[in-house]
Amino acid sequence: MDLLLDVGNTRLKWGLHDASGWHGQGAVLLSALDGFEGVLAGLGPVRRMLGANVAGAGVAGRLGVFLAARGLAAEWIQSQGEGFGVRNGYREPARLGADRWAALVGARALHHGPALVVTSGTATTADVLDADGAFQGGVILPGLDLMRMSLARDTAQLPFADGRFETTPRHTADAIATGCLHAQVGAIERMFRLVAAEPEAVCLLNGGAAAALAPLLECPVRVVDNLVLEGLARMLDGV
């Protein structure tokens, strides 16, 4: 088995994978990272670890200690100009986040037509991948919860409260939830227009807010559990 890690801003997502597919996936909050030691202890034999880390050197160092105790070396990917069916059109390809690069690789492996690759986590990213596998560019905006938190933090009378989507909200919590969802969906749909006219174009959506966003999107959408892990699985033989 190979251990794949997607280390984001808030959570570490892990998966066990071999030639036959996935044999387990899970997540650990970075605020409770020591709990990953217990996860590692219960995984059984692991041949290799490959990961994408955007949480910084400190988190990578702690994970390196946990992995070394299991006899594993920490292998962290870096974005590159071309590979695994994807051409990276970023002005400075190495500056593209490793998670976005892995998600693009995962998207290309799952769908060979044009796609808008969306990850809805702490931040939301929406990246344009054309039918030839060329990454054209993309946007980054605050994620759904970050939008709600910013309103609670930076305004005097708007709470951080759970609300629900309403067509015409008549309650403050619902107004906040609906407004933030509209902002996310609107940004995604505007970006999708860049590929909408192409045959088989689809929005590939993953991340913690995917379940909230997918029903509201007025474009073809496919929810994928974790595109970063899918991309890492495709990279194993080429790293």
99 is catalytic: yes
Question: Across-strand partners of 119?
Answer: 125, 206
Which position among 2, 34, 99, 127 bears the catalytic label?
99
Contact 48, 236 (CB under 8 A): yes
End-to-end CA separation in angstroms for the chain:
16
The position carrying tokens 């069916």 is 85
Question: Across-strand partners of 141?
Answer: 124
Per DSSP, the chain holds a count of helices (H) and strands (E) of 7, 11
Give the 3-state DSSP-derived string for 84-122, with helices as H, strands as E and coil as C: CCEEECCCCHHHCCHHHHHHHHHHHHHCCCCEEEEEECC
Query: What are the residue numbers of the active site?
Result: 99
